[in-house]
Amino acid sequence: MRFKCRAIMKGKGIGRLLLLNEPFSFLGGVDTKTGELTVASGRQGEPIDGRIFVFPCGKGSTVGSYTIMDLKKHGHLPAAIINASAETIVATGAVMAGVPMIDKVDLSLLRDGDCALVDGDVLDMMDLDERKVVTCILRRKDKILLLKRSQKVGTNKGRWAGVSGFIERGERPEETALKEVAEETGITTARLEAMGAPLRVREGTNVWTIHPFLFEVGDEKVVLDWEHTECKWIALDELPGYDAVPGFRLVLDSLHL
């Protein structure tokens, strides 16, 4: 799976991710003579040599730029650097040392140990597959419809969700949404109220690119197909009591529910 990013220092680097969840300072965070992270990073003893080094952003003294140069001197540079948001210290060091670097990356989709390739402004996550789907929220008055996924579906068996389905090749998300609502609930009079911005959620080696939709429906009876075993109309404040599929709350947020 490929992501378009912003290139801070263009180049190519391949390796497994070494992922930190906190801002990182090269000064004090890594031993330049061994290339190993120090206790200050929370990952003491791990080498960054040949790894794609991932952290949200840099922090600390401007000497950090020269620390990266010192890593180069001792032959311990990472294969590449990935940030959510680059700042001057790390960016300057990467340019000076010639380390490929990108930012504008959603780090929530990455995992420590993932195999990846940084090439210019492209991040190729070799272990990940993208699955494009729609998730439709049906609202009747002040309640939304939850559907319990059956044991016959491929993923998230027994969990609660909205109407969902894969977007077929050549099909627009809006077309998929209307088709899935009719197939999974038997409701043919749903009225489209809102479309949320697409969002991404990772589950295992899959990244779900979800297109959210909100439909208003009347009193038409819900008729379930094989994909679901139960349905319930609930108020939004009841949702925490249900084991919902990953990203369901994000879908509601994108629709301002």
- What pLDDT was estimated at residue 40? 75
Q: How much is the pLDDT for 80?
A: 98
Highest mean pLDDT among 97-101, 202-206, 244-248: 97-101
Please report which confidence band the pLDDT of residue 42 belongs to, taking 50, 70 and 90 as the band edges: confident
Verdict on whether the full-model pTM lies above 0.85: yes
Mean pLDDT, all residues of the chain: 95
Percent of the chain with pLDDT over 90: 95
Q: Domain coordinates of the chain in residue numbers?
A: 2-125, 129-254
Q: Is the pLDDT of residue 39 over 90?
A: no
* Positions marked catalytic: 61
CATH annotation of 129-254: 3.90.79.10
Question: Contact at 8 Å (CB) between 18 and 54?
Answer: yes
* Cα–Cα distance measured from residue 123 to residue 151, given in angstroms and rounded to the nearest whole number: 36
- 21, pLDDT greater than 90: yes
- CA-based nearest residue to 70, from 26, 15, 102: 26
**Residue 190 identity (one-letter amino acid):** A
Following CA atoms 121, 101, 206, 195 in sequence, which dihedral angle do they give, to the nearest 10 degrees? Answer: -60
Q: 2-125 maps to which CATH number?
A: 3.50.30.10
pLDDT computed for residue 41 by the predictor: 77
